[in-house]
Amino acid sequence: MTDSARRPGSADEELLSAEWAQVETELTDPQRIDRIAAELDMAFGQLADVRRGITVFGSARLGEGTPQYELARELARRLATEARAAVITGGGPGIMEAANRGAHEGEARSIGLLIDLPFETGSNPYVELAVPFHYFFTRKVSFVRYSDAFVAMPGGFGTLDELFEVLCLVQTKKIRWYPVVLVGTDYWGGLVDWIRERVLAEGLISPGDEDLITCTDDLDEVVRICTEACDLRSGPVNAA
């Protein structure tokens, strides 16, 4: 440790910056591995009975009263009542709160996978089951493992990170097919066009990869896609 070393600001920084002289080392590698294993064990235990889960991603900055918040709330309520699905979010404010609120209003399980951030603490008041994480990557494992479909509302880097993580896993066949639905053609249309007109056109993805994404404004279509995915992966609601 040098005189200028500082304490890491998060568990991720402590792990990923462990070789930097500017960041204090607080754990040994065996301790880090134990902590990661314990976090996964905790998450798997708390989420073990989740079936028919749908994850809704979106910005923490779009609060109550914005059109995006109200749309996410309505969508989650419909996923709860029509798809009979648990709704999973990052558990924070904004779109995440809206989706948890809609699930709560639809009397479905409302789940928040929380991340330890210096500027965002605690869960929104509509989370029924809060699962805390220190590490982004253990949290991502849990999003994927317990979800049958993914819906992305407008969001920033965090939403984009989660979106492309899932797309990469499906494209590389690390996981079986999951529907990935982008809600809001006005917001997402430019990204979808870029994927088709540049990434696909220049041969950087294979033909058909662009179809891993559905972009729509139609909540009926979103509910239909998510319901079919839940039925396919977890079984119909009325199945014994």
95-120: average pLDDT: 93
pLDDT in tens, 138-148: 999 999 999 99
Burial class (CB in 10 A: 0-12, 13-18, 19+), 219: middle
Q: How many CA atoms lie within 13 A of 6 on its CB side?
A: 4
4-13, 115-124, 153-162: least confident range: 4-13
Instruction: Tell me the CATH number of domain 41-234, given options 3.40.1260.20, 3.30.70.270, 3.40.50.2300, 3.40.50.450.
Output: 3.40.50.450
Query: Hey, which residues does 87 pair with through a beta bridge?
Result: 54, 110
pLDDT in tens, 91-101: 999 999 999 99
Query: Hey, which residues does 86 pair with through a beta bridge?
Result: 53
Asked if residue 202 lies in contact with residue 229, where contact means CB atoms within 8 angstroms, the answer is: no
Confidence class for position 117, pLDDT limits 50, 70, 90: confident
**Could you give the C-alpha distances from 208 to 149, 172, 184, in angstroms and in order?**
19, 13, 22
Give the other-Cβ count within 10 Å of 128's Cβ. Answer: 15
Give the other-Cβ count within 10 Å of 142's Cβ. Answer: 23
Query: Most distant CA pair in the chain: distance in Å?
Result: 64
Asked if residue 46 lies in contact with residue 131, where contact means CB atoms within 8 angstroms, the answer is: yes
99-109: average pLDDT: 98
Encoded tokens for 206: 């294979």
Burial class (CB in 10 A: 0-12, 13-18, 19+), 198: exposed
d(CA 96, CA 93): 6
Helices (H), the chain: 11-16, 29-47, 67-81, 95-105, 136-145, 157-171, 185-194, 219-234
Encoded tokens for 10: 């998060």
Domain boundaries along the sequence of the chain: 41-234
Tell me what pLDDT residue 239 has: 47
d(CA 227, CA 138): 26
Q: pTM (2 decimals)? A: 0.90
